[in-house]
Amino acid sequence: MITAVTGASGHLGVNLVRALIAHGRDVRIITHNSTLGLEDLKVERRSGDINDPDSLAGAFEGADVVYHLAAYISLLMSDRERCTAVNVEGTRNVIEACRRNNVRRLVHFSTVHALCNEPLDTPVDENRPLVESRRSAPYDLSKAAGERLVRQAAGEGVNAVIINPTGVIGPYDYKPSHFGQALIMMAEGSIPVLLEGGFDWVDARDVAEGAIKAEQAAPPGANYLLCGAWLSLKEVAAIVARIMGRKPPSLVCPFTVARASAPIVTAVSRWTGVRPIFTSVSLKALASNRNISHARATRELGYEPRPVSQTLADTIRWFEDNGFIKGRGHQQRQ
């Protein structure tokens, strides 16, 4: 039986494909413009574009299970059109291609950002409503809209399950991801000042295993928060510094100062073509709900995420081994 994966070359996708192979699956990766991190893996390759319904229908032909990870991730308020095209219309096309090919099971990767994080004084769980305020970030809105489509399809008979990961970190971060780049800068000692706040961080490998368990055991229409633990950026930087044998940054920029400078940082990044270190969207995420529950996933799937400190050690080691971190090597291992 064939397991097809969209977005296979992304950080989560590369980890998921490896996990599926380890489970003995025959994996088909649906590639659009990259196979980075997948070149040496024993997988079937099919060309496909989630914004081209006909190419998707052909790519899913004969597939028993489809994992839909392809998405456009943005930390900018100006990316509404592209987020909608990929994360909403692309998901609509994936659902229809699954219907056309009688795919037995669809596993849709959403995000914790699709769920309302307020009120902040109560834990976020799977019962939180989906984001709908137009003041929300385009990425958050688009992922919520895509998840609505999957929920609707599940109500109409599509055998779908939804995964909502938090802030994903871990090895095999080839591109690297937004926070992966921040970890590299922390390891190199090139971030002199940290931002306030933090996020719930989860290992990409744990998300992959949780998704496979959901595919195997979850009832149709179920959704699962796959989270890890909340750590401030200061705590993350301290762990990374200890791994590298460095002193962590001692300065922390208050949110008020960061918010005032975010538009300037974004404008400069557009001019230089360099991805911004922070934006107004990422600052809002760093001030979001600190308490996110994976109780349902633990109870129904046996999901147990590893400690974030272990994930950070493995991630920094992977970045070093693959030449992403410049400068002196480890002086101290966790």
Could you tell me which residues are beta bridge partners of residue 160?
A: 106
Cα 152 to chain centroid, rounded: 23
Whole-number Cα distances in Å, 321 to 171, 310, 325? 10, 16, 8
pLDDT of residue 264: 67
- Regions of the chain short of the pLDDT cut 70: 262-270, 272-277, 327-334
pLDDT of residue 156: 97
Q: Which of 253, 114, 231, 83 is nearest to 169 (CA)?
A: 231
Query: What are the extents of the domains in the chain?
Result: 2-175+200-229+289-305
Q: What is the CATH number of domain 2-175+200-229+289-305?
A: 3.40.50.720
Residue 47 φ then ψ, to 5°: -80, 135
Give the C-alpha separation, 194 to 173, whole Å: 22
Among residues 67, 139, 174, 303, which one is catalytic? 139
Can you give the length of the chain in residues?
Answer: 334
- Which residue type occupies 298? T
303 is catalytic: no
The answer to whether the Cα torsion of 180, 184, 187, 189 is positive or negative is: negative
Torsional class of 157: left (φ above 0), alpha (ψ -120 to 50), beta (otherwise) = left
pLDDT digits (tens, 9 = 90+) for 137-192: 999 999 999 999 999 999 999 999 999 999 999 999 999 999 999 999 999 999 88
pLDDT of residue 197: 93
pLDDT of residue 228: 98
pLDDT of residue 55: 94
